[in-house]
């Protein structure tokens, strides 16, 4: 039974590991599920151990009952002999022998069952130890996974921050603006407009405006000195 249990446990673990490999996109969930599977298997084994122990208890009671019956038949045989009933004494002895044989057979079966129980209990202890180790490893792996995810997010953020795509987009838009300005300048030239001449004319207008203001200012000063009113 112990060997069969280990085969079953191995099968469950292989199935769990296979499922874990197939669903690596969620390793955290699979780590939890793997421990849950082991704990469920432990409960099944404990149930089996309880049944085996119950069988051992029943065998012990049956063996004790058979031994008690053998003692009773021994007393009956002695009593029959004392009363001179040899046939009954012989029959009682036969029943005693049969009871003793049953008691011996039941005791041998109980001892074998007890040995099997001890093996299963050791298996339970080993499985409990494996589950404790699995929980510890799960804690370590989850911590490593968390650090890995954090590092990945940080690296992704750094990559986005260091990415030249945004700057490339700015450069592209700037080139489009410059292209649009160049096209507008080209259309002006085709219409007979000279940007340089327009700028020069604007400069002359500004200078003439400043000269006019200065001239009016000087005239105002002269009128104030002579005391004549403005015309």
The residues, ordered by sequence, that sit 6+ positions from 95 with a Cβ below 8 Å of its Cβ are 69, 73, 76
Examine the pLDDT at 178 and tell me if it is beyond 70.
yes
**Per residue in 144-161, pLDDT tens?**
877 777 777 766 666 665
Same domain, 91 and 40: yes
- Domain count within the chain: 3
**Per residue in 83-135, pLDDT tens?**
888 898 899 889 889 989 999 999 999 898 888 888 888 888 888 888 888 88
Same domain, 138 and 187: no
Same domain, 128 and 212: no
| Phi-psi domain of 76 (left: phi exceeds 0; alpha: psi -120 through 50; beta: other) | alpha
Same domain, 20 and 128: yes
- Read off the pLDDT of each residue in 69-80 and give the average, rounded to a whole number: 89
The overall average pLDDT reported for the chain is 77
Contact by Cβ (8 Å): 36, 12:
no
- Read off the pLDDT of each residue in 18-46 and give the average, rounded to a whole number: 74
Same domain, 122 and 219: no
Same domain, 137 and 188: no
CA atoms within 13 A on the CB side of 154: 6
Same domain, 101 and 175: no
- Of the candidates 191, 190, 207, the residue with the CA atom closest to the CA atom of residue 199: 207
Domain range spanning residue 210?
Answer: 199-231
Same domain, 143 and 48: yes
The residues, ordered by sequence, that sit 6+ positions from 49 with a Cβ below 8 Å of its Cβ are 117, 120, 121, 124
Contact by Cβ (8 Å): 101, 63:
no
Same domain, 141 and 217: no
Same domain, 31 and 70: yes
pTM of the model: 0.48
pLDDT band at residue 66 using 50, 70 and 90 as cut-offs: very high
Same domain, 17 and 118: yes
pLDDT in the model for residue 58: 92
**DSSP assignment string, 75-116:** HHHHHHHHTT-HHHHHHHHHHHHHHHHHHHHHHHHHHHHHHH
Same domain, 27 and 136: yes
């Amino acid at each position: 039974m112990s060997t069969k249990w280990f085969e079953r446990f191995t099968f469950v673990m292989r199935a769990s590991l296979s499922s874990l490999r197939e669903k690596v996109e969620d390793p955290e969930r699979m780590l939890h599920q793997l421990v849950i599977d082991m704990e469920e298997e432990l409960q099944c084994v404990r149930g089996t151990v309880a049944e085996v122990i119950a069988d051992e208890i029943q065998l012990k009671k049956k063996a004790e009952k058979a031994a008690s019956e053998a003692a009773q038949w021994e007393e009956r045989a002695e009593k029959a002999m004392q009363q001179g009933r040899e046939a009954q004494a012989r029959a009682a002895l036969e029943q005693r022998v049969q009871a003793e044989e049953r008691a011996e057979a039941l005791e041998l079966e109980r001892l074998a069952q007890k040995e099997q129980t001890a093996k299963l209990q050791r298996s339970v202890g080993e499985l409990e130890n494996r589950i404790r180790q699995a929980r510890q490893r799960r804690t370590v792996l989850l911590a490593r996974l968390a650090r890995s995810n954090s590092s990945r997010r940080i690296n992704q953020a750094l990559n986005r921050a260091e990415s030249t795509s945004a700057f490339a987009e700015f450069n592209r838009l700037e080139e489009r603006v410059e292209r649009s300005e160049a096209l507008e300048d080209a259309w002006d030239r085709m219409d007979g407009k000279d940007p340089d001449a327009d700028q020069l004319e604007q400069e002359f207008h500004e200078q003439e405006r400043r000269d006019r203001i200065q001239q009016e200012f000087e005239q105002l000063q002269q009128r104030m000195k002579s005391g004549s009113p403005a015309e």
